[in-house]
Amino acid sequence: MHLREHLKDRRRIVIKVGSSSLVHPETGRLNLQKIDILVREVSDLRNQGKDVVIVSSGAIAVGRAAMGLGELHSLRQKQACAAIGQGKLMMIYQKFFSEYSQTSAQLLLTKQTIVSDESRTNARNTFSELFALGAIPIVNENDTVETYDIRFGDNDRLSAIVTALIHADLLILLSDIRGLYTDDPKRNPDAVFIREVDVLDDRLRGMAKDTAGSRFGTGGMATKLAAADIATAAGADMIIAGAEDFRIIHRLIGGAEEGTLFHAHPHESRLINDLLGKREDPS
């Protein structure tokens, strides 16, 4: 456990939650009990003086459920549902955060925000001011206007880019995947759970590549390893953990041996510096 004891000292934390972690699988409607627990956990971190960002999926799923739609087949349908669902999702977040005397703020980012120097600086300044005000930013990709060729593509990658953008020192990815295994545990009962990753090498990347085409490989572990590449190179530790119980957040930060911990390698941040600008000197 000594390798994780330092996590309690992390001061700026990004927490990503996926759609499946926020809704009831039977109906696609929001699981209010889970969201309440998530908000309470984040509020308690804020009360400790930590800066916290939530990168939240769920807008399209919430919009689809609200309109009584089944599977969405067109981009127009998905973007319309995102427009409907994003407002509903933020309304719920704001209601719960207000009950814990916290203020939340919505930021919808696009890939253009990151690749443009001016927009990237403006986004970083907005985050900084929100932290100074004590607010909790809730981030999602702007699905209502994005097209395939200008998308981040998934909120795992988006959360890692936000981590680099705001110089966070910890990223927690919460989803239906408990952590990194040597193989897809849903297909191979002999798959071994990996608790710590010091260096993300080609062998580990190959584990995700070998499962391409499955839920585990596309939109699953493959995107999470891509996020780990970005976050650890930017100087942040990253944890992949299960989202069955959002109370895992305080356990992880307290040093619990849950999930897979990827260690930061800030000396490898040249690629991130090229994308996001030179990292500020923490001194």
169-213 pLDDT per residue, tens: 999 999 888 899 888 787 888 889 999 999 888 888 777 654 434
Q: Residue 214's pLDDT is what?
A: 35
Identify the band that residue 2 occupies on the pLDDT scale cut at 50, 70 and 90.
low
Q: Residue 6's pLDDT is what?
A: 92
Alpha helices in 67-214 (DSSP H): 75-99, 111-115, 117-133, 155-165, 202-209
How far is CA 36 from each of CA 43, 93, 117, 157, 176, rounded to the nearest angstrom?
A: 10, 9, 37, 25, 18
104: three-class secondary structure by DSSP: strand
pLDDT tens-digit profile of 4-28? Answer: 989 999 999 999 999 889 999 888 8
pLDDT at 280 over 60: no
**Measured between alpha carbons, how far apart are the two ends of the chain, in Å?**
29
pLDDT tens-digit profile of 81-98? Answer: 989 999 999 999 999 999
Mean pLDDT of the chain, nearest integer: 86
Residue 109: which of 96, 131, 85, 127 has the closest Cα? 127
171 in Cβ contact with 185 (< 8 Å): no
Q: Residue 205's pLDDT is what?
A: 77
In order, the DSSP letters of 220-243 are THHHHHHHHHHHHHTT-EEEEEE-
Residue count (the chain):
283
pLDDT at 279 over 60: no
